[in-house]
Homo-oligomer: A and B are copies of this chain.
């Protein structure tokens, strides 16, 4: 790899001049500029990122802390990451995946950090500029920036809407119980319930696949609980519900109305009947969080909190 010295030599100028023409940090005569650029092209010169970073103390990398112990991403996260990546690239930032299970003894000095899926037990402070995706735990919420869906409001609205149709009982299969998002959605759910509602709420247990979990729950509860409406956390769970319905010759939505919150598969149209779901606007979440973080890094003021409004999409599984 050619260095700045090689270019300087070839162009017959000094190191610093080369640096200046590349960074536009001082006026350079046209002739010099041309010579430098030509030399650079000839040698296929690209500035060494590490040397530059060391000198400037600006890494242009944004880290994304993955919460999963296995390093595995769910569909929701992937969609968000895709749109973060898009913004980062536009703004010339690198995106580094940082599984949190690695406690390294060296220190990759990122300019900013995105934290995914806050848990209720996440209470440690972070020194780098950072933004949470989702509501952080109460312990740190006052000092944190975050971007979140309107989970509680959405869930309340959704439940109220369903209650106009529920005849016998409603079941909500929520995400795992250590996530703040589950708490918020449960809160919204309960807010909407009336005194005489026959309702059930259960959290995903992470023991088996989501589809299998939904299937099992239904299998256990259906005979004895008099249900006719079910809200599941996502469309993968919905597949378990559909399977249960098919096997037990239940008609969706007549016998069992179903709606999924997160449409990760982009395939709700291809469920039969088509699956109602809530559009969480993953792309918008990602865009907002990345844009805000870059602002934060560059000392541009941003709001402590941004809310991305979801969109309830009623389809055949609910009519």
Contact = CB atoms under 8 A, between A and B. Distances in A.
Assign chain A's interface to a size class.
35 or more
Given A92-B102, A96-B96, A267-B239, A86 B70 contact: yes
Contacts of A98: 94
A82 B66 CA distance: 11
A226 interface: no
A48 B107 contact: yes
A97 interface: yes
B47 A50 contact: no
A126 to B, nearest CB: 13
A272 interface: yes
A85 B109 contact: no
Of residues A86, A107, A109, which shows the largest number of chain B Cβ atoms within 10 Å of its Cβ? A107
Contacts of A246: 272
A52 B104 CA distance: 14
B107 A269 contact: no
Q: Is the interface of A mostly helix, strand, loop or mixed?
A: mixed
A27 interface: no
A12 interface: no
A142 interface: no
Nearest to A66: B85
Contacts of A212: 269
Contacts of A125: none
Contacts of A206: none
Nearest to A82: B72
Contacts of A85: 66, 71, 97, 99
Contacts of A107: 1, 46-49
Given A49-B107, A211-B270, A270-B242, A71 B89 contact: yes
Nearest to A265: B265
A271 to B, nearest CB: 8
Interface of A: 1, 22, 46-54, 59, 61, 66, 70-73, 75, 78, 82, 85-86, 89, 92, 94-99, 101-102, 104-109, 209, 211-212, 215, 236, 239-240, 242-243, 246-247, 265-267, 269-272
19 contacts: A46-B107, A48-B54, A48-B106, A49-B106, A49-B109, A50-B50, A50-B59, A70-B82, A71-B85, A75-B75, A89-B99, A95-B96, A97-B97, A212-B269, A236-B267, A239-B271, A242-B272, A243-B270, A246-B272
Listed from nearest, the 9 A-B pairs whose CB atoms lie closest are: A46-B107, A239-B270, A246-B272, A71-B85, A49-B108, A50-B53, A50-B54, A211-B270, A89-B102
